[in-house]
A and B are shown apart, each in its own frame.
With several copies, the nearest count.
Chain A
Amino acid sequence: MIDVLYFAWVRERIGLPKEQVETSAATVAELVDELRQREERYALAFSDLRALRVAIDQELTEFDAPLAGAREVAFFPPMTGG
């Protein structure tokens, strides 16, 4: 089980900020593929990965990063702080 978090418009499109996901995905990209299969709202949120960023256990990473040992994966648009 892994905690999956969504922020900003990713959160709005999927309709929830956080959920627990049972997955055997080896990488973030594989997890995204599993989520896309679930429902239209996931497919919509993940339709363009170039518009998304991902963090594993609160560290920015890439979509090909391995999920082994990860407790928390977060998806969000490019950040707009400052």
Chain B
Amino acid sequence: MTVRVQSDEFDAGAELNAFTGEVAGAGAIVSFTGVVRDVDGGLTAMEIEHYPAMTERAIAKIVEEAQSRWSLAGALVIHRYGRLETGAQIMMVATASRHRVDAFQAAEFLMDYLKSRAPFWKKELTKDGEAWVEARDEDEDALGRW
């Protein structure tokens, strides 16, 4: 299991290749990359705040839960904080398993829990000002399926 919380950029492709190299024996590798998208045409950047003392521990706990539910050869979580421009990569998740269904489910589980249970808060900066992103009911509801 690898968990990294950082302000620096990361190279999703290089991370995917390194991860794939580490999980030899796994037939199925799934990755998710989250990118800052310009929602309404006015977004200039996103500011991500986090709770440093808690973040890595909270993510590690989520990954451990995934590992207890699915047979995983490996799991990777990278999450950035600080100012991110439109188009920048925010975070990525990768999972590896013998079977594709396990790899997909574990990746979706990680994403659902990172959304609502890892201590990050996003603020959108637009030409007109700034606003904290509100948690969506459907993100909380998504946890119900696991």
Q: Do chains A and B touch in the complex (CB under 8 A)?
A: yes
Q: Which of A5, A78, A79, A81 has the most CB of B within 10 A?
A: A81
Within 8 Å by CB of B54, from A9, A74, A80, A82, lies A74
Considering the chains assembled together, what is the distance between the CA atoms of A79 and B140 in angstroms? Answer: 10
> What total of chain A residues lie within 8 Å of the partner, measured CB to CB?
18
**Interchain CB contact under 8 A, B114 and A8:** no
**Interchain CB contact under 8 A, A82 and B123:** no
**Interchain CB contact under 8 A, A81 and B133:** no
A1-40 vs B, Cβ < 8 Å mask (1 yes, 0 no): 0000101110100000000000000000000000000000
Considering the chains assembled together, what is the distance between the CA atoms of A74 and B54 in angstroms? Answer: 10
Q: How far is the CB of B48 from chain A (nearest CB, A)?
A: 8
The residues in B between 80 and 137 inclusive whose CB is less than 8 angstroms from any CB of A are: 90-91, 100, 111, 114-123, 132-135
Q: How far is the CB of B7 from chain A (nearest CB, A)?
A: 15
The number of inter-chain residue pairs (CB within 8 angstroms) is 73
Q: Does A43 contact B (CB under 8 A)?
A: no
Within 8 Å by CB of B119, from A9, A11, A55, lies A55
**Interchain CB contact under 8 A, A76 and B114:** no
A53-81 vs B, Cβ < 8 Å mask (1 yes, 0 no): 00100111000000000001010111111
**Interchain CB contact under 8 A, B115 and A5:** no
Within 8 Å by CB of A60, from B34, B49, B117, B140, lies B117
**Interchain CB contact under 8 A, B53 and A58:** yes
**Interchain CB contact under 8 A, B119 and A81:** yes
Within 8 Å by CB of A82, from B49, B51, B91, lies B91
Q: Which residues of B contact A (CB under 8 A)?
A: 34, 49, 51, 53-54, 57-58, 79, 90-91, 100, 111, 114-123, 132-135, 139-140
Q: Which residues of A contact B (CB under 8 A)?
A: 5, 7-9, 11, 55, 58-60, 72, 74, 76-82
